[in-house]
Amino acid sequence: MTTADDRATGAPEGTPAARAPRPADRLADRDALGDRVLTLPNLLSVLRLLGVPLFLWLLLGPHADGWAIVVLAVAGATDWADGKLARALGQSSRLGALLDPAADRLYIVATLVAFVLRDVIPLWVVVLLLVRELVLGVTLLVLRRAGWPPLQVHYLGKAATFLLLYAFPLLLLADGDNPVAAVAQPIAYALTVWGAALYLLAGVLYVGQAVGLLAGSRRAGARP
């Protein structure tokens, strides 16, 4: 699964505040990616974004779960390919660094909402994960106002996204009364529980990292 750090590079985690790069330096590093728009990786990211409404319609309209799984699989394949191509072709860009994680989050949120409407998963699971997204959204806005770019993706966040995006099609397969559902159900539930737990833990780590950066900036600004 590709993530934002396939397109952009941030400061390493655990950097002491006294030696951490200034917000302006971090923004300069991100801006150094370039402003190209018409690239193959960006095209794949846009196609993945366009698949979100199609995916939702398949789940909530005709309940064409098989085709919805195909869309999800294609999204996962392009998610892997766009980061690899960006590095191989030298086509990393600021737009790509924004589109890639945005598409992942949209698929996760869209799937959670659709699953609640179809009673595939309980509401409390969705509420927890959506609250996590809301908190992270506010955190990113605060960082941006302080001059910091979005945080580098943590490996736990990568693992959580990987588990959830594999759990979703299995949850669809488990939503039925057939031999395939009986086999898919325990695997789907296990992946969902572990993915949700890691997703929440990654959110806590992101917020902690953001608090550290903001506190370091304030201490640096308070020095004579």
pLDDT digit string (tens) for 145-197? 888 877 777 788 878 888 887 888 888 888 877 788 888 889 999 999 999 99
What CATH number is associated with residue 157?
A: 1.20.120.1760
pTM of the entire predicted model? 0.67
Query: What's the confidence (pLDDT) of residue 10?
Result: 43
Q: CA 52 → CA 83, 114, 120, 128, 176, distances in Å?
A: 19, 11, 18, 21, 24
Which tens digit of pLDDT belongs to each residue from 54-63? 999 998 998 8
Query: What's the confidence (pLDDT) of residue 24?
Result: 46
Neighbours of 138 (CB within 10 A): 12
Close Cβ partners of 57 (under 8 Å, ≥ 6 residues apart):
none
DSSP state letters, 109-121? HHHHHHHHHTTSS
Segment of 23-32, 66-75, 200-209 carrying the highest mean pLDDT: 200-209
Number of domains in the chain: 1
The parent domain of residue 34 ranges over 4-222
Query: Looking at residue 137, what DSSP letter applies?
Result: H
